[in-house]
Chains A and B, each alone.
Chain A
Amino acid sequence: VSATPMIVWLDEDGDTSARVLGGKFSSLAEMTRAGFAVPGGFGITTAAYEAFVEHNGLAAELREETAALETGDLHAVEALSARLTARILDAPLPPELETAIAGAYTTLAARMGNAELPVAVRSSGVSEDLAGASFAGQYDTYLWVMGTEAVAEHVKRCWSGLFGPQVLTYRPQNDMDTASAGMCVGVQAMVPARAAGVMFTLDPVSGDRSKVVIEACWGLGEGVVSGDVTPDRFRVDKVTLELLASELAVKESMHAFDPASGTVTLRDVPADERELACLQDTTVVELATLAKRIERHRGAPQDIEWAVDDDARVHVLQVRPETVWSQRPARTVTGGGSSRAVDRVLAKFMSPTGGDKA
């Protein structure tokens, strides 16, 4: 355990297991190695988090306080969350970790040719993204973070998310000790997304595995994930890659970086773009092709976050196992009826509109 490094690059040949990089970044490292277009970056490992807790002598306090929590008492939950968050934000990084993070950021910035490289700082919990528990939306992601100091600050914010009220209450029900499992924090180059969104390698409404369903919005994909913008929806046949249906939404607003405030804000979509499809048909098909490859590579239905940049290049931001339909028995068509073709044809003549019952 002591050999685990504090920083692991996504494209590095090392231990990139979920134990080290958390679920999200472990998957992204695997995707990077398999040649998918994942934005470059590195993970600040669970070992780094342990070193931080150790350095500040917080281990016992965090463990005991969370263990003693009455999860039914919301006031107590919120008070504890605020107290522990403050403890983490106030605690200093171990100097060698601070140096390592700054060094990795500088390397990434140099690689991308931009000293003030905007990055996404993303929580990657050890227990999230496991098949069966999505933890969706419970940990934080910070977008368009620039400079070593800001990155270090946001790493601590991500860690403090381990003690967010929703995590404190979610965890005991699942019988997982989230905090001691730890967290990795990933740092990746921002994709200046022209459009972005989420896609499933099955129909999330019906469970039909012969479809790829894509939801997309202008700008960053946060709106699709959070649901605060109505996305365009595209359905693609997974076998033939035909675009079967495009349901276009009137997209009033979008998430984008605002240079004035230096943050990502929700702003109006230019009037002439609101009713336009935010993806070209060819890009939709490219995304579906990508989804199909990812599903095949990972061997199970996937939920994929992606972004398309100004040059129409597609980037994979996150992959995780689909958790709803994958755990249900798939719907059958025959349902015990005869499989003899002629019987089924005769039944069709008996009841042309009524399925296969005579």
Chain B
Amino acid sequence: MSTDTGKRAFTNPFEVETPAGAEGWESMYPYYGLLSEERRASEEKKFWFFDGMHNPTPIYPFDTIMTENWWVGVNQLTTRVWCIPPAGGIDQRFVNGYLYISPGEHPEPDKIGERAEIFSRRAGHYFENWDEIYEQWVVKATDCIKRLEAIEFAPLPAIEPEASVTGHRGLYSTYDLLTSYGKLIENLFEMGSYHFEMLNLGYGAYLTFREFSQEAFPGISDQTVARMVAGIDILLFRPDDEVRKLAQLAVDNGLGEVVKETADPDTLLAAIGERPGGEEWLAAFEAAKDPWFWYSTGAGYTHTDRAWRDDLRLPFNAMRGYIEKIERGESIDRPLETIVQERTRITAEYRDLLASDDDRAAFDELVALARTVYPYVENHNFYVEHWHHSMFWNKVRELGDVFVAHGFLADREDIFLLHRNEIYSALYDLNIGWATMAEPRGPSYWPAQVAQRKGWLEKLAGWTPPPALGLPPEAVTEPLSVMLWGITQETVDEWLGAGADSEGGVLRGVAASPGVVRGPARVVTSAEELHAVEQGDVLICRVTAPSWAPVFSKVAAAVSDLGGIMAHTAIVSREYGLPAVVGTGYGTVRIKNGQMVEVDGDNGVVRILDEEGGG
């Protein structure tokens, strides 16, 4: 196979054509994130794969902050903190606005022994003190979020307030605006660093247990492996639990009907306030919102991923479903006791099936370690992507309001069309104009830039990024590419041979949740399109998000283009008992809205049953 793939290559990244109308797109991105003639010799020899798992669409200039964050944040841990012996970092490039990443090898193979010793000592320290370090982590993360919450942006005043003079501070609104922005960016990088502090090791421990289980029990499902280690206090289930509680309280207080009948959240909240028992319910609702409705409808990596707080239709939809269940006399409680009993039973039964005492000793240790790291692996998402990042994007919007107030931008959302470093310049432009009472350049410069960039992004969104570019690797050795992105030799080979298989109306992926179901396809590439999903649809998406929960109660099955082996989304979709196939590569491209499809979650196959409506 390796000689075979050696001859074949993906498209040369330098030969990727810019879609018509998007010429000039490069100016949206930082110079270091672009392919260049100067680095061409090394760049075209590398293997680049499309990171659609985290960034399925062209990246807004501001949103590169997230990818740039891990460009340093993840890689420094691999190469300089843990010193994972054979690995280099994962490089990034923006190609037609999409993120391509390239796993690296450590440039000094002779240092492996030295690095192994450092790695073993440092990683050992974290594993041995995991609970305590995680406790500290929660304190750090929560404090970081509180400081983010305190950051405020306001338009510059006509005249500096009296207090700025009487307080003798010597610092004025221009300084505060600039430094608040600085704090905002630093705050993101701070949380970004915490994000990866324990992640590599946590996933590594979990995946080692998973691999052991797969070797001992070939074919064991990911879900079962997860059930052996998962606790019940998973924060990602908490928002849904809060909705269940609110549904129960609505029924208890005689508010079930009004919740069911009122679609618009604002109208609904007002109506509830006017009813007896409404005040108690609203108080409970407000309490649940912070922090549990800081729950992103996407992965949290882009500003378009909005939280429940920003679009209350999602939690209210779910609430209506729960109210109906309560009215039918069904239980809406998660069977926590059963989950714990099952975890114990399953673990014990598998343990008994092992062949030797040595195997049982290794199994016991690995289960214990996986259970130790799992709270972090499961819960960090809530702190980082949901709570922090959702709030972060909203703070950026507040800054957008400042630019709107000063005529730099027409809409607060336009700020995401600027790279974060351009915002520093724009703020200085604003400060100069305010201080000198001369015309700043921003109001005549940025709206045109924004319009052009929107046009580019629209054109780029119509382009289908190939799964990989450049030369296929001889072997994938970078551990995170394997563990987090699921890139293996098989993936690479599959991509090299891809296209052929999808011609016949059959897409193959990973069997993520069992069952076979047919239904009309509903292609969803943005959270906004979730509202179009109807009962019985088969959800076709780039990647599923756990907070799509309300939609999961409607769809008959889920299909995603991408799917990492550790997707929390998979756990949630299995909770809903839906057949799911992930990692089909081309589902959102090949399948059109309304086509009948069959999802075979047992075998990881999606069949397009009628080609009509396709193109």
Interface residues of A (CB under 8 A from B): 203, 206, 208-211, 235, 237-240, 242-246, 281, 329-334, 336-337, 339-342, 344-353, 355, 358
Contacts and interface: CB of A to CB of B under 8 A. Distances in A.
B363 to A, nearest CB: 8
Interface in B218-243: 218-221, 223-224, 227
B208 A235 contact: no
Given A332-B356, A346-B120, A350-B85, A341 B205 contact: yes
B483 A352 contact: yes
B5 interface: no
Interface stretch (B263-271, B429-437, B473-481, B500-508): B473-481
B475 A342 contact: no
B268 to A, nearest CB: 40
B477 A341 contact: no
A239 B354 CA distance: 13
B386 to A, nearest CB: 27
Nearest to B204: A345
23 contacts: A209-B353, A210-B353, A211-B219, A239-B349, A239-B353, A240-B221, A242-B514, A244-B221, A244-B514, A244-B602, A245-B602, A246-B603, A333-B216, A334-B362, A339-B362, A341-B365, A341-B369, A344-B212, A345-B205, A346-B119, A349-B82, A351-B477, A353-B489
A244 B219 CA distance: 7
A352 B219 contact: no
B358 to A, nearest CB: 4
A83 to B, nearest CB: 50
B366 interface: yes
Nearest to B481: A352
A349 B116 CA distance: 10
A355 B366 CA distance: 15
Contacts of B85: 349-350
Contact of B603 (A211, A245, A336): A245
B458 interface: no
B211 interface: yes
B346 interface: yes
Given A245-B602, A342-B369, A349-B84, A332 B358 contact: yes
Interface of B: 82, 84-87, 116, 119-120, 123-124, 127-128, 200-201, 204-205, 207-208, 211-212, 215-221, 223-224, 227, 346, 349-350, 353-356, 358-359, 361-362, 365-366, 368-369, 475-479, 482-483, 488-489, 514-516, 602-603
Given A346-B120, A350-B116, A341 B208 contact: yes
Nearest to A244: B219
Contacts of A347: 208
Nearest to A329: B355
A256 to B, nearest CB: 27
Contact of B355 (A235, A240, A245, A332): A332
A235 B220 CA distance: 11
A334 B204 CA distance: 18
Contact of B123 (A245, A345, A355): A345
B602 A246 contact: yes
B208 A345 contact: yes
Nearest to B488: A353
A73 B358 CA distance: 52
A239 B369 contact: no
Contacts of B216: 210, 333
A336 B359 CA distance: 9
B208 A334 contact: no
Given A209-B353, A341-B366, A348 B358 contact: no
Given A206-B218, A208-B218, A342-B369, A332 B603 contact: no
Given A243-B514, A245-B219, A349-B123, 11 more contacts: A206-B218, A239-B353, A240-B227, A246-B603, A332-B354, A332-B359, A339-B361, A341-B369, A345-B123, A355-B211, A358-B116
A240 B356 contact: no
B104 to A, nearest CB: 14
Contacts of B475: 353
Contact of B224 (A211, A240, A334): A240
A339 B478 CA distance: 24
Contact of B368 (A281, A341, A348): A341
Closest 7 A/B residue pairs (Cβ): A330-B355, A341-B365, A339-B362, A210-B217, A352-B482, A352-B479, A341-B369
Contact of B350 (A203, A235, A239, A339): A239
Nearest to B604: A245
A129 B219 CA distance: 30
Contact of A348 (B476, B479, B488): B479
Contacts of B355: 329-333
Contacts of A211: 217, 219
Contact of A242 (B119, B200, B201, B224): B224
A353 B346 contact: no
B358 A349 contact: no
Nearest to B355: A330
A336 B216 CA distance: 15
Given A333-B354, A339-B365, A341-B366, A348 B221 contact: no
B224 A237 contact: yes
A348 B602 contact: no
A2 B218 CA distance: 53
Contacts of B346: 239-240
Contact of A334 (B350, B358, B478, B514): B358
B221 A341 contact: no
B356 A349 contact: no
Nearest to A246: B602
Nearest to A234: B602
A238 B352 CA distance: 12
A238 to B, nearest CB: 8
A341 B603 contact: no
Nearest to A235: B219
B221 A242 contact: yes
A297 to B, nearest CB: 16
A63 B279 CA distance: 96
A356 B85 CA distance: 15
Given A210-B350, A331-B355, A339-B365, A348 B119 contact: no
A243 B358 CA distance: 29
B309 to A, nearest CB: 37
A325 to B, nearest CB: 11
Contacts of B361: 334, 339
A348 B208 contact: yes
